[in-house]
Amino acid sequence: MSQTPIDVALIADMLDLQKQERLPHAILLVAPFGFALKGNAKAIAKSLLCQQQSANGCGACKPCQAFENQSHGDYRRLAQAEGKASIGVDQVREACDFVAQTSGYGDLKLLIVDGADKMTVPAANALLKTLEEPQGNSLILLTAEFSWALPATIRSRCQQRIIKPPARELLEAFLTNSGQGSVSSAVSDYELLRMAAYAEHSRPQFFQLADSILDALITQQIDVSQAYSQLDKTDTLETVNSLLHATESTCARESDAPNTSRLLALLELQQVLGAVLRRLRLGSTPAKEGLIYQICTLIAQVGRGDLAAVAESKRLLGINT
């Protein structure tokens, strides 16, 4: 995997705030399509912990070297554990204890919560306590692909920063280095960013498949049973997650030339997929086949802009949003 492009202006801004001693205690990082969230969070952390306060770290000072060796005592990164669908309360408690300790280097303590939207409700509540009572010189950097999935109480405690999409040539280089081959100049900047976001994912095939199926189903080029037979049903959570990503980008595209009833239906679809995803992350294991089939049915209804049918599907899925 090639290195993700870094938002240099954002890092410079963070370093300025640090010099003025005006760093907030909590920052929520978001990015279009969630692209380069992890890379940027790490680069911000490294810059702020560097003794030289050098963008992306000088690489030579003691803190930079410790950061590289993953032995920096004032830095911790929290993410969902391998094979787990969510970030659990024990993980968060342990990380909050870390934030509460005095810093070893006498400076900043920094915690990254990667994929904060994957926290369970108890985990989010545990983090909220720490956010409500910030400790000394500490910064908690949260990243979220779906920031709306975070509890409002968490969001309101964080300063939100949006990562600016990288320049086209950087995205092209990233895609080439990720083994995606060269990109035609006919591809729009928007599509390019989306391709980069997919390439960054550990299983890009889920996203490509979900994207093409969502599009074909909405435009009625295929029917529900065709869509269902094509979807990879080996991992329900990944399938729902990738359909949600595809829905978000379709919403963004539709907003440019809105067909009102379809856009409304798409927003409903987004809510439903979000709710299903949360449920799956909490460990609910519904009958897989039924769930995916029902979601395909819902997508077809969304394509027709049939809001009454959409409401019925929501009822069948047990979602009241």
**Chain residues in the site for Zn ion (CB under 5 A):** 50, 52, 57-58, 61, 64
Residues 86/119, Cβ–Cβ less than 8 Å:
yes
Which is nearer to Zn ion, 50 or 112 (by Cβ)? 50
Q: 7 CB contacts (<8 Å, ≥6 apart)?
A: 36, 40, 163, 164, 166
The nearest distance, CB 40 to Zn ion, in angstroms, is 18
Q: 98 CB contacts (<8 Å, ≥6 apart)?
A: 76, 109, 111
Which is nearer to Zn ion, 70 or 185 (by Cβ)? 70
The nearest distance, CB 49 to Zn ion, in angstroms, is 8
Element (H, E) at 26: strand 26-30
The nearest distance, CB 53 to Zn ion, in angstroms, is 8
Which DSSP category does 225 fall into? H
Which is nearer to Zn ion, 105 or 190 (by Cβ)? 105
Which is nearer to Zn ion, 3 or 52 (by Cβ)? 52
Q: How far is residue 99's CA from residue 96's CA, in Å, rounded to a whole number?
A: 5
The nearest distance, CB 57 to Zn ion, in angstroms, is 5
Q: How far is residue 97's CA from residue 91's CA, in Å, rounded to a whole number?
A: 10
Residues 109/95, Cβ–Cβ less than 8 Å:
no
Which is nearer to Zn ion, 53 or 137 (by Cβ)? 53
The nearest distance, CB 109 to Zn ion, in angstroms, is 17
